[in-house]
Amino acid sequence: MSKTTTVSFAKPSPVKQGVLVILAERGPVLSTSGKALDKASGGAVMRAAKQREFKGKKKTSLDILVPEKLGLSRLLVIGVDQLKDYAGKDWLELGGVIRGKLSGRDGPAVTLVLERPKKPRESVGEEAAQVALGTMLRGYSFDKYKTKAAKNKNDSVKNATLLRRLTIQCANPAAARRAFAARKALGEGVILARDLVNEPANVLGPKEFAAQARKLSGLGLKVQIHDEKALKKLGMDALLAVGEGSAKPAMMAVMTWQGAGTGGGKPVAIVGKGVTFDTGGISIKPAAGMGDMKGDMAGAACVVGLMHTLGARKAKVNAVGLIGLVENMPSGTAVRPGDVIGSMSGQSIEVLNTDAEGRLVLADVLWYAQEKFKPKCIVDLATLTGAILVALGKEYAGLFSNNDELSENLSRAGEATGEKVWRLPLGAKYDDMIKSDVADMKNIGGRYGGSITAAQFLQRFIQNDTPWAHLDIAGTGMAAPKRDVNTSWGPGFGVRLLDRFIADYFEK
């Protein structure tokens, strides 16, 4: 929903004003409330369904001209197929479908009756909370720079057409409120990630991004910002090399959440690539589509959104989020193709393509995460390679890992949330492709297997068989296709995936 919409939960009761949304299974088969409404309308609901050949199929809808005696401004019937087959993400998508049909123009208040046909008043709190989260995510829009929209927000007439309140009627509203408290925190985290990805690079550079991370201290996280001087002292030469061509200094933000306390053991570490704009550097990108590179920090955006979620829902886990923040620009001070640079690990890198910069940023941040925190496992996210788009399109993120259990757990979390990942191979032959004649390694491996050789590069910075997974989100983290729960260019990919992963496998 928009930021002005309030969600509440209530027990089922007759609705006599505003917009009413009911569900219909395949047939169509109306719920108890739907049948009562059809009877009160003199059969108007089923007549309309027959006339328009509405069968209750999933994601279809039926708008009905409401008899005046019912007092409603609009009646909307949503097809759901068979609710007995619904899992968590189906309820989430249902919320998105419903929210997509609502603008507020038919009334600022909407009531959704969420009950299972043939089983009156049996909708449970978890299902209602998932629907509410779906409406929250679908209602998001990024219009802060639209001056006409800003004027409309101050226009009382326009303001009246916004969706203000959504009431979900269900059998157990108390359980729904409890469940939605955590879902709302998750929705806030996704929206924060979306906001960051959608921001233009002239507004959101490394300094401003770090300031957004610092705000998480208000939720109880410990946030430490490392400036260029601190990064030099740490020996983060690979990260610093990426930012050498920019007037904006590089930074690293470290966000620590101790939700399991001192007895909770070592943390889960999540690392994000935060290239706030990527020109490609001296190996400059083509002009066409370069504007999309404001989203080259989608991995870091996910980490900030995730850490917000963990803090806001008081997750019982120890976790640390780390993001390397740089801008990759060409200039007289920029790193050149053919340069040899160092890294925090002590390994040397021959830079053959300055547009393969994200792996340089991650190399140092991954090393720091392991040296400083000795994590249980480490997951990194990065809009790393165009090659992953060739391999997987925009349906899956690429998954690379040195640990089967970690990989399988991430895959399960992806299936449960709809933020899916697909595992690709690593191996010695691929590692040979990044061997350098003049340094310990080179930062590209040639034309073939580009996503794999990028992951092989990262693996060289993983210590002592630390369980590690790399998610290449170049296809899923920005320029997202429109979905039931997202119509934004920046989807906030990874926040729901990793929140579920942590909740299922690490929380007490």
Which residues participate in catalysis according to the annotation? 285, 359
The structure tokens 């990065």 sit at 382
Phi then psi for 496, rounded to 5 degrees?
Answer: -65, -40
> What does DSSP say about strands 61-64 and 74-81: parallel, antiparallel, or unpaired?
antiparallel
Angle, alpha carbons 236-238-242 (nearest 5°):
115
Phi then psi for 445, rounded to 5 degrees?
Answer: -120, 10
Compute the distance between CA of residue 28 and CA of residue 226 in angstroms, rounded to an integer: 59
The structure tokens 């999540």 sit at 270
The structure tokens 């570490």 sit at 269
**In this structure, what is the dihedral angle of CA atoms 29, 35, 40, 43, given to the nearest 10 degrees?**
20
Task: State whether the Cα torsion 401-406-410-412 is positive or negative.
Answer: positive
The number of beta carbons lying within 10 Å of the beta carbon of residue 164 is: 17
Structure tokens at 165: 């309140």
Compute the distance between CA of residue 467 and CA of residue 392 in angstroms, rounded to an integer: 24
Single-letter residue type at 285: K
Phi then psi for 486, rounded to 5 degrees?
Answer: -160, 130
For residue 242, give the nearest of 350, 300, 329 by alpha carbon: 329
Does 117 sit behind a cis peptide bond, omega within 30 degrees of 0 on the bond before it?
Answer: no
Using an 8 Å Cβ cutoff, are 251 and 207 in contact?
yes
Calculate the alpha carbon distances from 398 to 207, 305, 379 in Å. 29, 20, 13
The number of beta carbons lying within 10 Å of the beta carbon of residue 143 is: 13
Calculate the alpha carbon distances from 86 to 23, 92, 251, 313 in Å. 14, 10, 44, 25
